[in-house]
Amino acid sequence: MPSRVARGFFLAVVSGLFFTFLNAAVKELASEMPPLFVAWGRWISGVALIGAYLLARVGLWGMRTQDMKLHCFRGLFHTTGYGLWYEAVVWLPLATMAALGFTGPIFITLGAVFFLGETVHWRRWAGVAVGFAGMLVIVRPGFVPMNPGIWMMLAAVPLMAGSNLVAKVVSGRDKPAVVVFWQSVVGAVCFTPLGIWFWQTPTLTQIGLFLAAGFSGTVGYFLITWAYRLLDISALQSITFLAIVWAALMDVAVWGKTSDIWTFVGAAIIVASTTYIAHRETTRETVAGGKKK
Residue 18 lies in a domain: yes
Q: What is the mean pLDDT of residues 43-66?
A: 84
Contact in structure between 244 and 270 (CB atoms under 8 Å)? yes
Q: Which residue range forms the structural domain that includes residue 226?
A: 4-121+145-234
Residue 48 lies in a domain: yes
| Count of CB atoms situated within 10 Å of the CB of 90 | 16
What pLDDT does residue 209 have? 93
Q: What is the mean pLDDT of residues 245-256?
A: 81
**pLDDT above 60 for 163:** yes
Instruction: Write the pLDDT tens digit of every residue in 57-108.
Output: 878 787 888 778 888 888 888 888 888 988 888 888 887 777 777 666 666 6
Q: pTM for the whole thing?
A: 0.72
Contact in structure between 225 and 176 (CB atoms under 8 Å)? yes
Using CB atoms within 10 A of its CB, is residue 163 exposed (0-12), middle (13-18) or buried (19+)?
buried
CA 156, CA 83: separation in Å to the nearest integer? Answer: 8
Q: How many domains does the chain have?
A: 1
Residues 6 or more apart whose CB falls under 8 angstroms from that of 204 comprise: none
Residue 126 lies in a domain: no
Tell me what percent of the chain is helix, strand and coil, each rounded to the nearest 5: 80, 0, 20
Residue 241 lies in a domain: no
What pLDDT does residue 293 have? 39
17-20, long-range: CB within 8 Å, 24+ apart, which pairs? 17/220, 17/246, 18/216, 18/217, 18/219, 18/220, 18/223, 19/216, 19/217, 19/220, 19/243, 20/94, 20/243, 20/246, 20/247, 20/250
Quote the percentage of the chain above a pLDDT of 90.
10
CA torsion through residues 88, 136, 231, 168, sign: negative
Mean of the per-residue pLDDT values of the chain: 79
**pLDDT above 80 for 282:** no
**pLDDT above 90 for 207:** yes
Residue 223 lies in a domain: yes
What pLDDT does residue 94 have? 82
